[in-house]
């Protein structure tokens, strides 16, 4: 019997939740979401690329019709938090790479309360359209049975909203929103995953399965790239984060050495380990400033409580959240990043180098890609109290000055904002062809 010839396959219209399962249906319902900003962003185009971007161009996709002159193409940026830590700041830099003829829209989650909403404020100041949406952020609490139905509803709502917006590209910032990747693929939307996380064990394999739905991956370090499966690695490009670098100010004068520990107070960031190291110090010409605060969700560390019980707690100042980190670095000599689990590419280590400050960091994750041991600082074994104590006891001002000068030169060469924006811009242009 002769088979009837079919026309092109129709594009799915929307995702709906039926009986606890995701189903495709034809009539989309308007998705919720409160509009926070009103003006679409347009960033200056990056300078022309000076070298080809590594990795494949991505999977072949169905050609999209040209956008009408009155309806510019949109890149949808999905981000899992409303703070101003590492990945939040990288998002702000990535937005600089959006071509002039393309608009940007950012969706942030509505499941957690961020009282100050600092990222929203910074985006609005740039004129970016921001929406708070029911995004399916992969938080451990939501993977419990009692939260599963609500989590699937969030996934379906995100799918409906993406279908309604019909973006030219979905830019997923961090693995926390990896579940959006297969949803966007079902809808025919091109996707780019900007991967900031270092995953291991069963979590790695589950995430890598979700990553297979991404057309392209940008990873923040070689250490992160090494955690990918072969098929995902072939579609990935390593792009180190880069930030604005102003000339460093001279080191503070005096006999005292000031150290800075700045990050969220997550358990794996090493605060408990480093404060144990600090409590073992015999020297009295040192002072420690601790920035940051407890995480909105996940396991945290009671930094003020630990400091209160230390024998030399008077040498530790807990300042908490701080927007102007550079001002603190300018008044310090050394930055410490004592992460006890692999840290993909911590922003504070990049900021330290840009400010011309020495760094003492854990020898894991992407930190050795930032800090050159014995040149721009020291890389030490994670959690090795005795080794850390010995290095801190022996650190002198001459070494600090030498490390700082070399760190600034290394930062200018390897972690500049210009290079980051150029590389991300090239990725966007490849995806928007």
Q: What is the pLDDT along the chain (433 residues), one digit of tens a residue?
A: 444 444 444 444 444 433 333 434 444 333 444 444 433 444 444 444 333 334 444 454 555 555 555 568 999 999 999 999 999 999 999 999 999 999 999 999 999 888 899 999 999 999 999 999 999 999 877 777 777 888 889 999 999 999 999 999 999 999 999 999 999 999 999 999 999 999 888 999 999 999 999 999 999 999 999 999 999 999 999 999 999 878 999 999 999 999 999 999 999 999 999 999 999 999 999 999 999 999 987 789 999 999 999 999 999 999 999 989 999 999 999 999 999 999 999 999 999 999 999 999 999 999 999 999 999 999 999 999 999 999 999 999 999 999 999 999 999 999 999 999 999 999 999 999 8
Residue 147: predicted pLDDT: 77
The C-alpha atoms of residue 225 and residue 233 are separated, in whole angstroms, by 7
Domains observed in the chain: 14-50+71-242+417-432 (3.40.50.2000), 257-414 (3.40.50.2000)
Residue 140: predicted pLDDT: 75
The length of the chain in residues reads 433
The C-alpha atoms of residue 341 and residue 285 are separated, in whole angstroms, by 30
The C-alpha atoms of residue 256 and residue 404 are separated, in whole angstroms, by 16
Q: Which of 202, 300, 181, 195 is nearest to 241 (CA)?
A: 195
The C-alpha atoms of residue 186 and residue 14 are separated, in whole angstroms, by 9
Residue 92: predicted pLDDT: 98
Edge-first strand order for the sheet with 102-109 is 34-35, 129-133, 102-109, 73-78, 169-173, 191-195, 216-219, 236-238
CA dihedral 315, 365, 200, 387 (to 10 degrees): -50
Instruction: Check if the beta carbon of residue 304 is closer than 8 Å to that of residue 320.
Output: no
The C-alpha atoms of residue 274 and residue 289 are separated, in whole angstroms, by 12
| Residue whose pair of structure tokens reads 């249906």 in the numeric block | 25
Give the CA diameter of the chain: 92
Residue 15: predicted pLDDT: 40
- Tell me the whole-structure pTM to 2 decimals: 0.81
């Amino acid at each position: 019997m002769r088979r009837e010839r079919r026309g092109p396959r129709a594009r799915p219209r929307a995702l709906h939740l039926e009986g606890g399962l995701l189903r495709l249906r034809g009539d989309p319902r308007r998705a919720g979401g409160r509009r926070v900003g009103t003006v679409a962003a347009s960033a200056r185009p990056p300078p022309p690329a000076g070298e080809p971007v590594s990795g494949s161009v991505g999977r072949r996709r169905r050609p999209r019709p040209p956008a009408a002159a009155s309806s510019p193409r949109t890149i949808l940026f999905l981000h899992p938090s409303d703070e101003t830590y590492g990945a939040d700041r990288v998002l702000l830099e990535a937005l600089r790479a959006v071509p002039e003829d393309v608009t940007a829209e950012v969706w942030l989650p509505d499941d957690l309360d961020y009282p100050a909403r600092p990222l929203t404020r910074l985006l609005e100041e740039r004129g970016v359209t921001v929406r708070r949406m029911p995004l399916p952020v992969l938080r451990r609490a939501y993977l419990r049975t009692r939260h599963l139905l609500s989590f699937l509803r969030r996934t379906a709502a995100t799918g409906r909203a993406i279908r309604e917006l019909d973006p030219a590209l979905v830019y997923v910032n961090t693995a926390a929103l990896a579940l959006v990747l297969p949803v966007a693929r079902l809808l025919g939307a091109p996707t780019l995953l900007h991967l900031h996380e270092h995953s291991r064990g069963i979590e790695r394999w589950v995430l890598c399965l979700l990553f297979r739905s991404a057309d392209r991956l940008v990873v923040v370090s070689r250490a992160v790239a090494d955690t990918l499966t072969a098929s995902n690695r072939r579609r990935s490009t390593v792009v180190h984060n880069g930030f604005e670098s102003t000339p460093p100010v001279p080191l503070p004068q005096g006999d005292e050495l000031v150290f800075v520990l700045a990050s969220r107070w997550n358990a794996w960031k090493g605060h408990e380990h480093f404060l144990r190291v600090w409590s073992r110090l015999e020297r009295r010409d040192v002072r420690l400033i601790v920035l940051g605060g407890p995480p909105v969700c996940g396991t945290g560390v009671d930094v003020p409580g630990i400091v209160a019980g230390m024998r030399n707690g008077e040498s530790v100042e807990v300042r908490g959240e701080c927007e102007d980190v550079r001002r603190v670095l300018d008044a310090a000599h050394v930055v410490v990043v004592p992460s006890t689990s692999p840290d993909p590419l911590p922003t504070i280590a990049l900021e330290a180098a840009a400010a011309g400050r020495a760094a003492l960091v854990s020898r894991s994750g992407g930190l050795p890609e930032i800090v050159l041991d014995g040149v721009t600082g020291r890389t030490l074994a994670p959690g090795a109290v005795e080794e850390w104590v010995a290095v801190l006891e022996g650190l002198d001002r001459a070494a600090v000055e030498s490390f700082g000068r070399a760190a600034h030169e290394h930062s200018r060469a390897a972690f500049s904002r210009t290079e980051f924006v150029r590389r991300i811009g090239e990725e966007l242009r490849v995806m928007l062809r």
